[in-house]
Structure 1
Amino acid sequence: MTLKVLLSPPDVGETEEQYVLQALRSGWVAPAGPDLDAFEAEIASRVGVRHAVGLSSGTAALHLALVSWGVGDGDVVIVPTMTFAATANAVCYVGARPHFVDCDPATGNISPELLESALDELAGSGARVRVVIAVDLFGHCADYARIEAVAASRGLKLLCDSAESFGARGAGRPAGSHGDAAVLSFNGNKVMTTSGGGMLLTDDGHLAAHVRKLSTQSREPVPHYEHVEIGYNYRLSNLLAALGRGQLSRLDDMIERRRQWRGAYRDLFADTPGVRLLAPEDDADDNCWLTAVVVNPCAAPWAAEDLGASMARHGVESRRVWKPMHAQPVFAGLSSTLDGSADRIFDYGVVLPSGSKMTDDDFALVSAAVEAVGCR
């Protein structure tokens, strides 16, 4: 059946059209320009950091932070096992080795207790750990109050993958303001989009300047083309930044719409035994990017795969929760610190439509699919 309700389609309209049209008419089509400068300043101001560097993707931001910190061959980087592959891929780009750490079963975010266990284990083996990466899964910030303390006590850099959490808050601060640096993603399915794009956020002026240089092929500030280190073509374009500025002006309303759907899902499953949201009870600080449910096979009247099948029959897109990195064939054989939480979330979790464009009629179709679970 043709999909009628998508997970998280882009939510763009006349506001974004006007921003992009003005950028086109200004003549600043590529590569950089005043809209990129303004977009960086607006994001930095909203998050409360000193520097923002617009890049082609969140993956590029992860990569360039690691490059700038000199992470490379022989180094180990802590990576949550419950994440999208880009987090681990960026570590491999620089020749370092990911060590995967399991998650808090309530939220899917990296477990601070297991993080400490992993660091003790790696220290005992003589591994050279340089960086901890934390990921804000599905719009809920990781436990930064504890994770920042752990990283600081070990003298480690903390890189926050906030690709899924822009607009959320954690430990009393905006997502993207934690750690030594953070990254955002503006991919087409995120809370706000620049079609494709990302950003590095930091209070470290030297890091921001180096990332900006690396992202434009590492050209030296001389009249001719001079390069003393390897660079990358990772800069965000002025036109896409203009689209982002339009989205940013609507961000709070789009998050509020997603929050309404989160509440509607909580009500929808309230009387179904064995089904819970992969989110804390108090999710007022989340951006509610995507809503996922976890189905307990011993208590629920149906299984996770039954829910997914019913969604498909009704033309509603759903998907499994991220497959843990330690279970991915490409990362087979890498070290990890696990307790089974991520495996259980993957086995029994389903992600449901959560976009700010979703209508009441769309949600009625989702509700019908839930009511029909098990019916053939």
Structure 2
Amino acid sequence: MGGNELKYIKDAFYTNWISQYGSNIDEFENSLEEYLGNSSHVTALSSGTAAIHLALRLLNVEEGDFVICQSFTFVATANPILYLKAVPVFVDSENQTWNMCPDALEEAIKYCIQQGKKPKAIITVSLYGMPFNVDDILQISRKYEIPVIEDSAEALGSKYKGRPCGTFGDLSIISFNGNKIITTAGGGILISRNSDAKRRALFLATQAKDNEEFYSHSEIGYNYRMDNIAAGIGRGQLETLEEKISQRRKNHDFYQQTVKNNGNIKLFSAPNSDFYSNYWLSTIILKDTLLKEKLKAEFSQNNIETRYLWKPMHLQPLYKDYKFFGNNLSGTLFEGGLCLPSGTNLTDNCRARISEVLQNEIH
């Protein structure tokens, strides 16, 4: 916690706004719009997943439509496609950013067109805080006139060529789940490029109530609005965002120093100065699966938690029968990778313990 979260929560209690209305929501949205810039219009919602669902609704995705989705991601990126009974088409990663491969994307688009239906949307992800290959993906998007939904759930504070993640898609989302760089306990935002899209998103997020004095509903809506308490937490968290980014990047610098000149381990890092990552998670690739499992077990023996990388969607039981385009780089990364401790509260003592395990086991 940053310090002022409780103050804003108390404000909600004192003003008796314990609901999906209140000044915390307005101020949180306004602060995020100012932070993101680039004509960003923010709608605060109950989760990043809800934001993706609404983004698909705003793009009129319907049953049977193709939606292209990055395979290397958390399942919440893809599930809203199935909510709408649309058809996901998965695309592999490229090696530099681990995000959507432009060549595989174009191959997937051509396949869909050959089936008689151009995709309704492209969902690309900035994985672990690393911006996706913005120029190439957007060039393909414009070439085929397919809108981009930018999943920056993990990338608040990351930038591509100096511009914040969350501002590149026709619609973009950011998550404030409990494990993100800042949190609202559970929540997210949908970022649109104009006020009309924001009004439409808010309408759908509040049960799609028609403009009548009585309760009239002409289409399906959702209970997706962020509440005033959660937004108060977000306001306090946002005030310390830059400090949290600095701490995450400090973790990455520590790992970079610890594993340098070690041929058995590779730290996932920005490919060049165009990419500025918040390094939400510091991740590594080991030379083989046996070494990965040995290292994970040794960390566990020392009461240090590590986690596997996301298992790509095309390898998930839920999605294994859908089309996939690429060379399975994401599968190779999953087989060889680990997420290392990356919290903003890592102490020097924590880092010393981590370093000891790495240096003893990886040689």
Same fold (TM over 0.5): yes
| Structure 1 partner of 2:188 | 198
Contact 1:145-1:171 at 8 Å conserved across structures? no
Deviation at 1:227, TM superposition (A): 0.6
| Structure 2 partner of 1:9 | none
Identity of aligned residues (%): 34
SS in 1 for 2:78: helix
Letter in 2 for 1:54: A
What do the CA deviations read for 1:263-306 (whole angstroms, capped 9, x no partner)?
000111103213111222447611110010011229xxx71111
2:228 maps to which of 235, 238, 249: 238
Contact 1:180-1:204 at 8 Å conserved across structures? no
Unaligned runs of 5+ in 2: none
Verify: 1:29 aligned to 2:18, yes or no.
yes
- In structure 2, what is the Cα distance between the partners aligned to 1:30 and 1:305? 46
1:331 maps to which of 315, 319, 324: 319
Q: 1:142 to 1:278 in 2, by over 3 A?
A: same
1:349 maps to which of 337, 341, 353: 337
Letter in 2 for 1:306: K
| Structure 2 partner of 1:7 | none
| Structure 2 partner of 1:183 | 173
1:363 maps to which of 351, 355, 360: 351
Letter in 1 for 2:277: D
Deviation at 1:13, TM superposition (A): 4.3
Verify: 1:290 aligned to 2:281, yes or no.
yes
Deviation at 1:368, TM superposition (A): 2.2
Letter in 2 for 1:179: G
Contact 1:16-1:247 at 8 Å conserved across structures? yes
Contact 1:63-1:91 at 8 Å conserved across structures? yes
| Structure 1 partner of 2:252 | 262
Unaligned runs of 5+ in 1: 1-11
1:64 maps to which of 17, 30, 54: 54
- In structure 1, what is the Cα distance between the partners aligned to 2:192 and 2:360? 48
State the TM-score, normalizing by the size of structure 2: 0.96
Letter in 2 for 1:322: W
Letter in 2 for 1:152: R
2:120 maps to which of 96, 108, 130: 130
- In structure 2, what is the Cα distance between the partners aligned to 1:322 and 1:185? 16
| Structure 2 partner of 1:44 | 33
What do the CA deviations read for 1:30-71 (whole angstroms, capped 9, x no partner)?
121111011011101111133100000000000011112210
CA RMSD across the alignment: 1.6
- In structure 2, what is the Cα distance between the partners aligned to 1:305 and 1:169? 33
User: Larger relative contact order (C-alpha < 8 A, sep ≥ 6)?
Assistant: 1
Deviation at 1:139, TM superposition (A): 0.4
SS in 2 for 1:201: strand
Instruction: After superposing the two structures, state which structure 1 stretch, 229-238 or 198-207, moved more.
Output: 198-207
Letter in 2 for 1:29: I
- In structure 1, what is the Cα distance between the partners aligned to 2:114 and 2:260? 46
| Structure 2 partner of 1:5 | none
What do the CA deviations read for 1:10-30 (whole angstroms, capped 9, x no partner)?
xx1432222222222222111
Deviation at 1:141, TM superposition (A): 0.8
- In structure 1, what is the Cα distance between the partners aligned to 2:281 and 2:93? 18
SS in 1 for 2:276: coil
Contact 2:2-2:240 at 8 Å conserved across structures? no
Letter in 2 for 1:53: T
Letter in 2 for 1:25: Y
- In structure 2, what is the Cα distance between the partners aligned to 1:241 and 1:193? 9
| Structure 1 partner of 2:216 | 226
SS in 1 for 2:99: coil
Letter in 2 for 1:255: I
